[in-house]
Amino acid sequence: MKDVVALVTGASRGVGRGIALALLEEGAVVHVTGRTRFEAGSERIGSLQSLEAEAAELPGTLVIHQCDHRDDADTEAVAAAIRTGGQLDILVNNAWPGYERMEEDGAFTWPRPFWEQPVWRWEAMIGTALRAAFITSRALAPMMVAARSGLIVNISFWAAQTYEGNAIYGIAKAGADKMAADFAHDLRSSNVAAVSLYPGLVRTEAVMQNAQYFDLSNSESPAFIGHVIAALWRDPERMQKSGRVLIAADLARDYDIADIGGYRPVPLRLEDFTPKN
């Protein structure tokens, strides 16, 4: 993928970091955004600096953009820098501040009913994450349209289709799915694909910090979904998948991709999230 240019938003940690590293491993030029430039002083593991150090051994080229997607001007500045380069093949809309501050003043507020949810959580998941996906796509889709080639991936999850403990979370992920579907409609005549892609349980920094609360037996490395995205890009039939919700582990089976150590994650299904009577 040495001639492929990608942008992964929210790549200083978590799924976005894994996607960026996977694409770099495959030789792509990978632009990334993130708020945290240096890990020192940050409350969370992961930074653009540590990503840069990890990427140094990989064959691809990393281009870092410190960006706070709460500010449209920051997002537009990143898009302007990429337009200057004249090429963008893959856009991964991953930026997601929605898991921050699950506990406030000693109380775990995530599972509270919608009328008890803090308004900041709406702003994080929808005012920042969902809005950033739209603003970034809006700014960069014309490049893909002009090139008559491209792939937009919205990272989403099963909360779009079933209750996953938090109403705002479900609304945001349903929005990401609908956005991909409608983008696909508008882009189809330009040969640009747009999909919504669901990971499984990913061994992110936050998950591993709380590993005692998770069954990791069917989990995925953060890079797994990135290799799936690379294979989707190489798929000559990817336009047939445009507009759809796709499961990373399903695609991995289709493309014969294994995770670290040869493990092949079992795809999650809607019934896995449906309470059993």
Q: State what percent of residues in the chain have pLDDT above 70.
A: 97
Question: At 19, is the pLDDT very low, low, confident or very high (cuts 50, 70, 90)?
Answer: very high
pLDDT at 188: 98
Q: pTM value?
A: 0.95
The pLDDT of residue 42 is above 80: no
pLDDT at 47: 86
Please write the tens of the pLDDT for every residue from 153-193. 999 999 999 999 999 999 999 999 999 999 999 999 999 99
- Orientation angle between helical segments 167-187 and 131-147, nearest 10 degrees: 20
Phi, psi of 169 (to 5 degrees): -55, -45
The pLDDT of residue 276 is above 70: no
CA angle, residues 258, 261, 263, in degrees to nearest 5: 45
Q: How many whole angstroms separate alpha carbon 74 and alpha carbon 80?
A: 10
Query: Which DSSP symbol is given to 258?
Result: -
Q: What is the chain's mean pLDDT, rounded?
A: 94
Mean local confidence (pLDDT), 249-269: 96
Catalytically active residues, by annotation = 169
Query: Which of 25-29, 53-57, 204-208 bottoms out in mean pLDDT, i.e. has the lowest?
Result: 204-208
